[in-house]
């Protein structure tokens, strides 16, 4: 057991080769630990002449919390100067990467910790900033610095990707009208790993990204998953023409639910002349309608059918409800040929002129995407779970800023969400 007070203090601070000069304890402020480098590098790096200490700038570094309290390290650096007239070295400031990288506002250990918290554990930048007693920008700058190094140093970090997914995600809202700006996330669907983020939801961004990866990389992609988006389909047609395109079941079922909802609102308006009120039968059954049928108990189903009888005189909503369940039933098939047949028959059935317009619209989409929908049964890859995880991470790490950081700044935060454990190991 160590009982020498100086040594005990050094052990608690835990930084390599520093003298602890003192500690400031101001109520309501982070604890401030003053340190200096032990030993002196007093020889000029250029000529070896004994260097003079010109001044002692103090660098304020955010550190890890100490016993639950935000802590800063105040590093009293030495700025040295070479007095040799014939030497061109001039002055320099001592550095120690074990404490902090040059120009970083935090210690190296907290930089790694932050990257791990946001990257691996998906904590928000804001939350981490509060814990460390600093602001959003300090944390974000650190993530960019550490994240960029990790990402750029490892061009092969993706490895072979067999199932590639594209996903549009709301990136941020801009300006006084909170205009939505979208991004496209490029995902390794097999591993559930975010590979990159490119601006917009058109085909241009992912097209350029895939071009950059090179043909050998693209040739290894066997499955390409997408929502029912034309631009992404164009990307895959052009860039990975041999990959089997797979429509994400989540989006297919979501489309059926959207059509059901459109129909309900239209019928509501036609029969009642106003938008849904809480007493209106169609409004009352809106949640029961989109619920999976097998999750309705007898009471729920009876209630739903009763409300439909009361609010849906022509049976349009009921038709769409059956259509939605039929779309869901697609995914109970095991076989992709059977699934294709099912999609074709369902689409043909829904294309009946007696059916509501929403049914015919759903039918057209099913026809347009029938191969991609049926291919899921062969591939069994889906953006589903990844998407949920990523969306959550994006929201938690990006939407906690009020101002709009540039795209590349946000992109780096997302990147950090895909860092793997190996790159985060201490040096």
Q: CB-based burial of residue 12 (10 Å sphere; 0-12 exposed, 13-18 middle, 19+ buried)? A: exposed
Question: Which residue from 31, 44, 106, 330 is in contact with Zn ion, where contact means CB under 5 A?
Answer: 44
Report d(CA 243, CA 223) in Å as an integer. Answer: 5
Q: HSE of 417 in the Cβ direction (CA atoms, 13 Å)? A: 29
| Stretch of residues binding Zn ion (CB under 5 A), selected from 42-50, 101-109, 245-253, 406-414 | 42-50
State which residue, 41 or 303, has the beta carbon closest to Zn ion. Answer: 41
Q: How is 359-426 classified by DSSP, letter by letter?
A: HHHHHHHHHHTHHHHHHHHHH---SHHHHHHHHHHHHHHHTT-SS---HHHHHHHHHHTT--TGGGS-
**Residues 45-104 interacting with Zn ion (rule: CB under 5 A):** 46-47, 49, 82, 84, 87, 89
State which residue, 44 or 401, has the beta carbon closest to Zn ion. Answer: 44
Question: Residues in contact with Zn ion, total (CB under 5 A)?
Answer: 8
State which residue, 46 or 310, has the beta carbon closest to Zn ion. Answer: 46
Report d(CA 182, CA 330) in Å as an integer. Answer: 30
CB of 96 to Zn ion, least distance (A): 21
Question: Which of 316, 330, 255 shows the shortest CA–CA distance to 290?
Answer: 255
State which residue, 90 or 385, has the beta carbon closest to Zn ion. Answer: 90
Q: How is 234-247 classified by DSSP, letter by letter?
A: HHHHHH-TTSEEEE
CB of 79 to Zn ion, least distance (A): 14
265 binding Zn ion? (CB under 5 A): no
State which residue, 84 or 262, has the beta carbon closest to Zn ion. Answer: 84
Question: Which of 173, 209, 178 shows the shortest CA–CA distance to 395?
Answer: 173
Report d(CA 162, CA 146) in Å as an integer. Answer: 28
Our CA dihedral for 346, 348, 350, 351, rounded to 10 degrees, sits at: 160
Only one residue has tokens 């974000």, namely 140
State which residue, 45 or 352, has the beta carbon closest to Zn ion. Answer: 45
CB of 48 to Zn ion, least distance (A): 7
| Stretch of residues binding Zn ion (CB under 5 A), selected from 41-49, 272-280, 313-321, 385-393 | 41-49
- Distance in angstroms between the alpha carbons of the first and the last residue of the chain: 28
State which residue, 45 or 242, has the beta carbon closest to Zn ion. Answer: 45
CB of 92 to Zn ion, least distance (A): 10
| Stretch of residues binding Zn ion (CB under 5 A), selected from 36-44, 230-238, 277-285, 344-352 | 36-44
Residues that bind Zn ion (CB under 5 A): 44, 46-47, 49, 82, 84, 87, 89
């Amino acid at each position: 057991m160590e009982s020498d007070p100086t040594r005990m203090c050094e052990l608690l601070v835990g930084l390599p080769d520093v003298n602890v000069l003192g500690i400031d304890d101001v109520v309501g402020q982070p604890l401030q630990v003053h340190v200096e480098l032990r030993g002196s590098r007093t020889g000029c790096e250029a000529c070896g002449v004994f260097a003079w200490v010109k001044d002692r700038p103090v660098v304020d570094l955010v550190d890890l919390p100490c016993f639950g309290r935000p802590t800063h390290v105040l590093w009293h650096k030495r700025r040295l100067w070479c007095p040799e007239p014939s030497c061109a070295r001039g002055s320099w400031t001592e550095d120690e990467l074990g404490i902090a990288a040059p120009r970083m506002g935090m210690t190296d250990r907290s930089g790694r910790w932050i990257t791990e918290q946001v990257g691996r554990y998906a904590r928000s930048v804001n939350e981490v900033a509060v814990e460390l007693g600093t602001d959003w920008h300090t944390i974000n700058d650190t993530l960019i610095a550490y994240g960029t190094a990790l990402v750029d140093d490892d061009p092969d970090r993706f490895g072979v990707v067999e199932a590639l997914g594209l996903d549009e995600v709301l990136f941020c809202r801009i300006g006084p009208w909170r205009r939505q700006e979208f991004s496209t996330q490029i995902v390794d669907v097999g591993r559930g790993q975010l590979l990159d983020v490119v601006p917009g939801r058109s085909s241009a961004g992912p097209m350029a990204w895939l071009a950059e990866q090179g043909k050998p990389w693209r040739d290894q992609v066997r499955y390409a998953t997408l929502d029912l988006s034309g631009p992404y389909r164009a990307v895959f047609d052009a860039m990975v023409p041999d990959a089997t395109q797979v429509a994400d079941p989540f989006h297919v079922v979501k489309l059926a639910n959207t059509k059901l909802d459109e129909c309900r609102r239209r019928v509501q308006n036609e029969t009642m002349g106003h938008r849904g009120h809480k007493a209106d039968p169609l409004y009352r059954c809106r949640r029961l309608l989109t619920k999976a049928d097998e999750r309705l108990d007898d009471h729920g189903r009876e209630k739903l059918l009763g409300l439909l009888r009361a609010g849906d005189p022509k049976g349009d909503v009921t038709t769409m409800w059956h259509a939605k369940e039929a779309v869901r039933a697609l995914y109970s098939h095991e076989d992709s040929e059977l699934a294709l047949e099912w999609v074709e028959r369902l689409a043909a059935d829904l294309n009946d002129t007696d059916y509501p317009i929403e049914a015919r619209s759903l039918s057209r989409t099913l026809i347009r995407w029938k191969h991609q929908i049926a291919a899921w049964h062969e591939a069994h890859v889906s953006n589903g779970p990844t998407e949920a995880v990523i969306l959550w991470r994006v929201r938690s790490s990006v939407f906690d800023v009020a101002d709009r950081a540039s795209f590349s700044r946000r992109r780096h935060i997302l990147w950090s969400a895909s860092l793997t454990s190996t790159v985060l190991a201490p040096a």
